[in-house]
Amino acid sequence: MAKKLLARVGRALTNPAWVCFTWFGMTAGVALLATPVRFSAPTVTRAIGLDVGRVVFAALNKAELAALILLLLIARVSGRARRWWGICAALALIVLVQSIWLLPELAARADMVVGGIEPPPSYLHASYSILELLKLGILFTAGVVALNERT
């Protein structure tokens, strides 16, 4: 009985689904729930909301990089690396574009607003949002696929 339980736990831990769904929940919670709610608070100014958002998204980005590394490790250890390389590559590309380009640019714009300067219009927020929704779609789909996969 204990051997079977350990085997089930081992299979569960080496299934990428749990990483996909945890990452999905973390990202959806911050990007789709906490961010819009923050700006709906009557006493939060735009500058404060952007300043807090800059810090929150920097922390989320670090957590997403850790989740990506964990997903890569689990895909490798589970023997799914060949089947999962495209999923991992797409997620890595999105996270890297957000980390290297979009977040620093958005943080600089937030710093401008905090400093009392209105930045010119830009497509950066829309680009980040589109990538965020794409990432969420990939994570959810990959998690469902992983649950249905036989190793």
- Quote the pLDDT of residue 9: 61
- Whole-number Å distance between alpha carbons of 80 and 68: 15
- Whole-number Å distance between alpha carbons of 20 and 16: 6
Sequential DSSP letters for 37-79: HHHHSTT--HHHHHHHHHHHHHHHHHHHHHHHHHHHHHHHHTT
The answer, as to whether pTM is greater than 0.85, is yes
Query: Is the per-residue pLDDT at 93 higher than 70?
Result: yes
- Quote the pLDDT of residue 10: 64
- Quote the pLDDT of residue 13: 76
- Quote the pLDDT of residue 22: 97
Closest CA to 83 of 93, 74, 92, 94: 74
Query: Is the per-residue pLDDT at 2 higher than 90?
Result: no
Query: Is the per-residue pLDDT at 90 higher than 80?
Result: yes
pLDDT digits (tens, 9 = 90+) for 108-146: 999 999 999 999 999 999 999 999 999 999 999 999 999
pLDDT digits (tens, 9 = 90+) for 39-56: 899 999 999 999 999 999
- Averaged pLDDT of the chain: 92
Query: Is the per-residue pLDDT at 27 higher than 70?
Result: yes
